[in-house]
Amino acid sequence: MDLSLIDYSAIFVAALLVGFTKTSVGGVGILAVLLMALAIPGKASPGVLLPMLIVADVFAVIYYRRDCDWSILFKILPMTAVGIFIGFLIVDIIPYGVFEKVIGGIILAMLVMGLAIERYKQGFGKSGVWTYVVGVTAGVVTMIANAAGPVFGVFLLQMGLSKARFVGTRSWYFLLLNIFKIPFSANLGLITADSLKLNLMFVPVIFLGAYLGFRFLKMINITMFKWLIRIAALFAAIRLIWF
């Protein structure tokens, strides 16, 4: 890959955020998706990001391995698998030159959805239909842009789980679905020998991000931090769509 120093810097920050979001504040991963898309144009960016996410997922699962509500996962994972297959078909037909714009559009939609959920929490229920919708939607957006975090986070918020149970269930869910995505991404040519070499370079950065997440979670203003991330993600998404 022919990358500039600016590109490597963006990937560095993306890897740091990937580790950080898995062990602390959910939603930071959206900015990592955008930074990767800015550094690596076209369909290659999700393929580079996926192994990084799996490394971070393993780290989170090791820490929260006992805190998982498997009954929730058994209900939603089959529908997520259907969504991943649909996303696989969509990625295959998206023209190369507009893929970044698609990612930017998905991120904007996730930001709007997250704000809507915070504003109207009571409008979302726990019905079987809601589970199907969330499962398929999460599968589609994770296959296209590795951006299922807000969708599944919203779903879990309605379950009334403890903080540890919430993070543990989320960690296992994303580890399983990201591993499931590997053959689909490889089939599309998104994961290559070159992309895996790039991944290896940034594994220590992912661990650093995870450590910082554990270390500083109690020291930061979560509300302010989330708004800073949203603002940064908004500008990055606009950059992808219009430039």
- State pLDDT tens for residues 122-151: 555 555 777 888 899 999 999 998 888 877
Count of CB atoms within 10 A of residue 95's CB?
10
> How high is the pLDDT of residue 130?
79
> How high is the pLDDT of residue 142?
92
Average pLDDT value for residue range 183-211: 93
In this prediction, residue 97 has a pLDDT band, given cuts at 50, 70 and 90, of confident
Query: Contact at 8 Å (CB) between 104 and 206?
Result: no
Alpha-carbon span 84 to 72, nearest angstrom: 18
DSSP letter string, 70-132: HHHHHHHHHHHHHHHHHHHHHHHHS-GGGHHHHHHHHHHHHHHHHHHHHH-GGG----HHHHH
Q: How many domains does the chain have?
A: 1
Range of the domain at 139: 5-242
% of the chain with per-residue pLDDT over 90? 44
pLDDT, one tens digit per residue, over 38-49 is 899 888 899 999
Could you tell me the pTM of the whole model? 0.85
Average pLDDT value for residue range 70-96: 93
% of the chain with per-residue pLDDT over 70? 90
Sign of CA pseudo-dihedral 240, 40, 42, 176: negative
